[in-house]
Structure 1
Amino acid sequence: MDNIVLIGFMGCGKSVVGRKLASRLGLKHVDTDTEIERLTGKTVAQIFAKDGSIRFRSEETLLLKRLAGKKNMVISTGGGMVLNRENVELLKADGILIHLYASPEVIYNRVKGRRHRPLLNRGDLKQRIIELLKERAGAYDVAELAVDTGKYAVDEAVNQIIKYLKERKYIG
């Protein structure tokens, strides 16, 4: 079975939905940020602070190349993963892309207490979220399906995804 790849802005539930979806389907779950941290021995925040965003983005691409050809996984990507065209092609080669999204207000409420997101650690948080969403407008349109995680709870979002996969005959 092809991989199910969850893309979307930070705080839209890719990791939590990914874990639940993988569990429901009996698939392995890979969170790309967690995997990069494991491989580099540094947190995402440390990579951004010490090595910069370009280094982090190159780690994302290297990880996808390591995963190339592997199947039967649910992959939760970092929010900026699809900003690189090569990453999109690597993800599409073995996977079905699903966009998880939420309104800026929902994202704000989910991330406001967490300071481990390097791209949000400067300026007014709500304004920064809006700016980044504008910068990334259209980037997530590469997905086959979009699910509003501000509207659906985790289990409902998982059900929406499974329903879509069954309708498209990706799963039985």
Structure 2
Amino acid sequence: MKNIVLIGFMGCGKTVVGRRLAARLGLKHVDTDREIEKVTGKTVAQLFAKDGPIRFRSEETLLLKKMDGKRGLVISTGGGMVLNQENVELLKTDGILVHLYADAQVIYNRVKGKRERPLLNRGDLKKRIETLLEERAGVYDVAELTIDTGKYTLDEIVEQIIQYLRERKYIQ
């Protein structure tokens, strides 16, 4: 079975949906940010602060190359993973890309009390979210399926993904 790869902006639910989806399907869940933290011994925030975004993005690509050929995973990616076309190609090789999104207000409500997101720790949070969403317009269009996580419950989102996978004969 191909991997199920969750892509989308930060705060759209990739990790929580990924965990639940993996549990429902009996698959292993991989969160790319957590894997990078294990390998580097630094949090994502520390990597961005000490080594910069270029280093972090290179760690994402290295991780995907190490995962090349592995199948049957549910992968929750970092919000910027698909900014690099090489990453998109690596993910598509063994994966079905699912875009989880939400509007700026929903994202703001989800992340406003959290400070571990380095790209959001500058200036007015709501404006920063809106700016980044505008800058990334279209980058998530590489996905086969898109779901607005602001409109559905966790279980409804997982069920939509499973239904899509069944309809496309990716799973039984």
- Quote the Cα distance in structure 2 between the aligned partners of 1:99 and 1:93: 17
Query: Residue 95 of structure 2 aligns with which residue?
Result: 95
Query: Residue 83 of structure 2 aligns with which residue?
Result: 83
Q: Deviations over 1:36-85 (max 9, x none)?
A: 00110000000000000000000000000000000000000000000000
Provide the alpha-carbon RMSD of the alignment: 0.3
Query: Residue 144 of structure 1 aligns with which residue?
Result: 144
Question: Where does structure 1 differ by over 6 angstroms across 4 or more consecutive aligned residues?
Answer: none
1:33 deviation in Å? 0.2
1:169 deviation in Å? 0.4
Query: Residue 32 of structure 1 aligns with which residue?
Result: 32
Partner SS for 2:116: coil
Query: Residue 122 of structure 1 aligns with which residue?
Result: 122
- Quote the Cα distance in structure 2 between the aligned partners of 1:85 and 1:96: 16
Query: Residue 109 of structure 2 aligns with which residue?
Result: 109
- Quote the Cα distance in structure 2 between the aligned partners of 1:116 and 1:66: 26
- Quote the Cα distance in structure 2 between the aligned partners of 1:169 and 1:132: 35
Structure 2 residues not aligned, in runs of 5+: none
Amino acid in the other structure paired with 1:163: Q
TM superposition score normalised by structure 1: 1.00
The count of aligned residue pairs is 172
Amino acid in the other structure paired with 1:107: I
1:143 deviation in Å? 0.1
Query: Residue 73 of structure 2 aligns with which residue?
Result: 73
TM superposition score normalised by structure 2: 1.00
Partner SS for 1:123: coil
- Quote the Cα distance in structure 2 between the aligned partners of 1:155 and 1:65: 31
- Quote the Cα distance in structure 1 between the aligned partners of 2:15 and 2:169: 24
Q: Deviations over 1:105-160 (max 9, x none)?
A: 00000000000000000000000000000000000000000011000111110000
Amino acid in the other structure paired with 1:115: R
Partner SS for 1:150: coil
Query: Residue 5 of structure 2 aligns with which residue?
Result: 5
Amino acid in the other structure paired with 1:72: G
- Quote the Cα distance in structure 1 between the aligned partners of 2:152 and 2:146: 12
Q: 1:17 aligned to 2:17?
A: yes
Q: Equivalent pairs: percent with the same residue? A: 78
